[in-house]
Structure 1
Amino acid sequence: MTMTPNSFLNTLQNTATQYHIRFPVFIEGSIDFSLLLINCCNNVTLVSNTLSDALPWWQVKKFLGQETGSLALDIRQGMDVEKLCALVGCVRGGALLFFILGTDLSLCPSRFYQRFMRFFRHPSTAYINEDGDVHLPEFCRYSTEETIRSKNVLTSTKSAGITLCQSQAIAAVEHVFSGHRRRPVLLIADRGRGKSAAMGMVAQSILQSGKKRILVTSPTISNVETVFKHAAANVPCRRENKYRLVFNNDSVLQFVAPDALLRELPKCDLLLVDEAAAIPMPMLDRMVVKYSRICFSSTEHGYEGTGRAFSTLFRTLLNEKTKGWKEIKLVHPVRWEEGDPLENWLFDAFLFDVEPTFPSGCNDIDIRIIDQDVLIQDEVLLRQLFGILVSTHYQTSPNDLMPLLDDDSMSILGAYSGKILVGALLAKQEGGDDMALASDVVMGKRRIRGHLLLQSLAFHTGIVEVLSSPLLRISRVAVLKQCQQQGAGSALISALERIAKACGTFMVGTSFGATPVLLRFWLSKGYRPARMGVQRNAASGTYSLQLVKYLIHAPHWLDDIFTLFSTNFLYQVSEQFENMDACLVAMLFTNMDADALLLLKPERRQVELFAHGVLGYDLVVGSLVIWFKHWLMNRDREYTYDLECLLLVKRLLQRQGWEKVARQYGCQGRRDTEMMIRDWISQHYCQ
Structure 2
Amino acid sequence: MIDEKTVITYPLELLQTLKDKARLGFVRYPVFVSGDDAFLKSMISATDVESVISDELEGDNVLPWNKARQLLGKESGSLALDLRTGLDVDKLCAAAGCIKGGALLVLIVDENRRQESRFYQRFLRFGQHSAAAFIRQHGESSLPTMDVIEVRGERIDREAGTTQSQQSAIEAIKRVLSGHRRRPVLLVADRGRGKSSAMGIAAAELMCQSNKKIAVTSPRFSNVETLFTHAAARGVLSKKGRLSLTADNGSELFFVAPDALLRDEPSFDLLLVDEAAAIPLAMLSKVLRVYSRVVFSSTEHGYEGTGRAFSTRFRAMLNEEAKGWREVSLTEPVRWADSDPLEAWLFSAFLFDAEPSTPVTSDAAITIKAIDPKTLPNDEVVLTQLFSLLVTAHYQTSPNDLVQLLDGQGLRLLGAYCGEVLVGALLASKEGGFERELAEAVVEGKRRIKGHLLAQSLAAHTGNDAVLADPLLRIVRIAVLPAFRKKGIGRQLVRALETVADLENINVVGTSFGANSELWRFWSSLGYLPLRLGVQRDAASGTYSLQLGKAIQRKPDWFDSLQALLYLNLNYQLAEQFFDMETELVAELLTDSNAAIAPSPAALHQVSLFAQGNLGYDLVTGSLWQWFIHWLATKSTQNAVDEMCSLMIARLLQRQSWSTVSVKYGFRGRKDTEAAMRDWTRQQLPK
TM-score computed with the length of structure 1 as normaliser: 0.91
Shift of 1:280: 6.6
Q: Does 1:33 align with 2:47?
A: no
Distance 2:150 2:332 in 1: 20
Specify the alignment match of 2:678 in structure 1.
678
> Which residue of structure 2 lines up, in the alignment, with residue 131 of structure 1?
138
- Helix, strand or coil: the match of 2:63? coil
Aligned residue number for residue 115 of structure 1: 122
Shift of 1:675: 3.0
Q: Does the Cα contact within 8 Å between 1:157 and 1:164 map onto a contact in 2?
A: no
Partner Cα distance (1:662, 1:314) in 2: 34
Give RMSD over aligned pairs: 2.9
Is 2:299 the partner of 1:299? yes
Relative to 1, partners in 2 of residues 1:236 and 1:374: Cα closer, same or farther, differing over 3 Å?
A: closer
Cα 1:167/1:83, change in 2 over 3 Å: same
> 2:244–2:253: 8 Å Cα contact kept in structure 1?
yes
Mapped contact 1:221–1:255 kept (Cα < 8 A): no
What SS does structure 2 have at the residue aligned with 1:77? coil
Matches within 5 A, 1:164-563: 164-218=164-218, 222-231=222-231, 233=233, 250=249, 252-258=251-257, 268-278=268-278, 288=288, 291-312=291-312, 314-315=314-315, 318=318, 322-359=322-359, 360-563=361-564
Q: State the aligned residue count.
A: 676
Counterpart residue number, 1:658? 658
Q: Is the 8 A contact 2:208 2:249 kept in 1?
A: no
Residues 425-472 of structure 1 show CA distances to partners (whole Å, capped at 9, x for unaligned) of 111111221211111222222222211222222222222222111211
- Cα gap change, 1:673 to 1:306, in 2 (>3 Å): farther
After superposition, the Cα gap between the structure-2 partners of 1:651 and 1:308, relative to the gap in structure 1 and judged at 3 Å, is farther
2 CA distance for matches of 1:450 and 1:227?
A: 35
Change (3 A) 1:421 1:603: same
User: Secondary structure, in 3 states, of the residue corresponding to 2:448?
Assistant: coil
Aligned 1:15-164 pairs, distance under 5 A: 15-53=21-59, 54-106=62-114, 108-131=115-138, 133-139=140-146, 161-164=161-164
Q: In 2, distance between residues paired with 1:432 and 1:242?
A: 46
Letter in 2 for 1:117: L
2:3 is aligned to none
Q: Distance in 2 between matches of 1:386 and 1:262?
A: 33
CA distance in 1, matches of 2:107, 2:680: 68
Match for 2:127: what amino acid? F
Q: Gapped runs of 5+ residues in structure 2?
A: 1-6
CA distance in 2 between counterparts of 1:325 and 1:684 reads 46
The amino acid across from 2:80 in the alignment is A
Tell me the residue number matched to 1:151. none
State the 1:241 CA deviation: 6.8
Bigger shift: residues 45-54 or 550-559: 550-559
Q: Which amino acid in the other structure matches residue 101 of structure 1?
A: V
Q: Deviations over 1:316-352 (max 9, x none)?
A: 6655654522222222211111211000000110111
CA distance in 1, matches of 2:221, 2:509: 42
One-letter code aligned to 2:492:
A
Following the alignment from structure 1 to structure 2, what is the Cα–Cα distance between the partners of residues 679 and 281? 37
Deviation (angstroms), 1:362: 4.9
Percent same amino acid at aligned positions? 51
In 1, Cα distance between the equivalents of 2:562 and 2:324? 49
Change (3 A) 1:469 1:200: closer
Quote the Cα distance in structure 2 between the aligned partners of 1:204 and 1:437. Answer: 55
CA separation in 2, counterparts of 1:213 and 1:549? 50
The alpha-carbon deviation at position 643 of structure 1 amounts to 2.5
- Return the offset for 1:391: 2.2
Deviates most, 462-471 or 413-422: 462-471
Contact preservation (8 Å) 2:278, 2:305: no
SS state at 1:489 partner: helix
Q: Give 1:14's aligned residue.
A: 20
TM-score, structure 2 length as denominator? 0.91
Q: 1:267 to 1:631 in 2, by over 3 A?
A: closer
Q: Residues of 1 paired with 2:222 and 2:517: CA distance?
A: 37
State the one-letter code of the partner of 2:29.
F
Secondary structure, in 3 states, of the residue corresponding to 1:534? coil
Instruction: Report the Cα distance in structure 2 between the residues aligned to 1:393 and 1:536, rounded to whole angstroms.
Output: 20
Question: Which region of structure 1 is more displaced relative to structure 2, 64-73 or 533-542?
Answer: 533-542
Q: Conserved in 1, the CA contact under 8 Å of 2:186 and 2:328?
A: yes
What secondary structure sits across from 2:249 in the alignment?
coil
